[in-house]
Amino acid sequence: MASGNGSIQLLSIATMAYDGVLNLDKPPGLTSARAVDRIKRVLSGGTKVGHAGTLDPFATGVLLVLIGKATKWSQKLMDQPKEYLATVKLGATTETDDPESPESLYPNAAEPARDRIEKAVSTMIGTLLQRPPAFSAMKVAGRRAYKLARGGKPVELEARPVRIDAIEILDWHWPLLKLRIACGRGTYIRAIARDLGEALQTGGYLTQLRRTRIGRFTAAEAIPLDQLSAASIGKLLHSLDAPL
């Protein structure tokens, strides 16, 4: 069990109750809901299971699965700071701002100089208004935006405030730009890729995304889905008895 020093520790192997947070390394090609469903199937019936913060199907990395009494921690965990590794492709766009839809080349796109990219990136740091992607789970008149967009209906989402703490350029070789992004709740990394492409007049979309941290939970310590079983889950749960 958690000690009184405020740290998050693994539950005792002898603990039989399924109550805690599982730091899952979500694989690509799987929705967050489907990943949760797989974990539900290996637990006893009636066990409450949820997650704190959705990852897009193509994305990988930290997905916090909340089991039993830990489901009450959902909002506090979603409020924790997050970090991502993202690859943006400039010179092209997609309808979904990610690799889930066909690519369209951006007319007359030219390779931007690194200092131009740095300047554009700097304008995206801080608390700012961000327009969510049309293909998102945001609701429009009670319906999910992505369902409207898939049906060919125009989707106009209002910009909303988000907090972006840092964007670091890790690598730049046209047309691929690799970034490390630290941000707060509700930030769409796909929207950062889209807005960066617009600022550089090249177009842009997200080709890869890995969430590397939510609060104290890191991808380095995350457990792959294929390593989980009913016997192992109980040994891997983190207790949240202590304040975050």
State residue 159's pLDDT score: 82
Lowest average pLDDT, out of 163-167, 176-180, 238-242, goes to 238-242
As a whole number, mean pLDDT of residues 157-167 equals: 90
CB count in 10 Å sphere of residue 155: 20
pLDDT tens, position by position, 186-213: 999 999 999 999 999 999 999 999 999 9
Q: Is the peptide bond before 175 cis (omega within 30 degrees of 0)?
A: yes
pLDDT of residue 153: 53
* 20-26 and 223-224 beta bridge pairing: parallel
Q: Give kind and range of the element (H or E) at residue 234.
A: helix 230-236
Cα–Cα distance for residue pair 184/163, rounded to 1 Å: 5
Give the tens place of pLDDT for each residue, 108-136. Answer: 999 999 999 999 999 999 999 998 886 65
Q: How far apart are the C-alpha atoms of 133 and 162, rounded to whole Å?
A: 14
> For residue 183, what pLDDT band results from cuts at 50, 70 and 90?
very high
Phi, psi dihedrals of residue 186, rounded to the nearest 5°: 85, 0
pTM equals 0.85
pLDDT at 148: 47
In tens, the pLDDT along 36-79 reads 999 988 886 778 899 998 899 999 999 999 999 999 999 999 99
Q: What is the mean pLDDT of the chain?
A: 85
**pLDDT higher at 60 or 137:** 60
C-alpha dist (Å) from residue 72 to 21, 69, 223: 11, 6, 22
Residue predicted with more confidence, 102 or 157: 102
Structural domains of the chain in order of their starting residue, each with its CATH number: 20-79+216-236 (3.30.2350.10), 82-214 (3.30.2350.10)
Average of per-residue pLDDT across 165-180:
98
Q: Would you please indicate which residues are annotated as catalytic (active-site) residues?
A: 56
Is pLDDT of 103 > 60?
yes
pLDDT number for residue 8: 36
Can you give the pLDDT at residue 17?
61
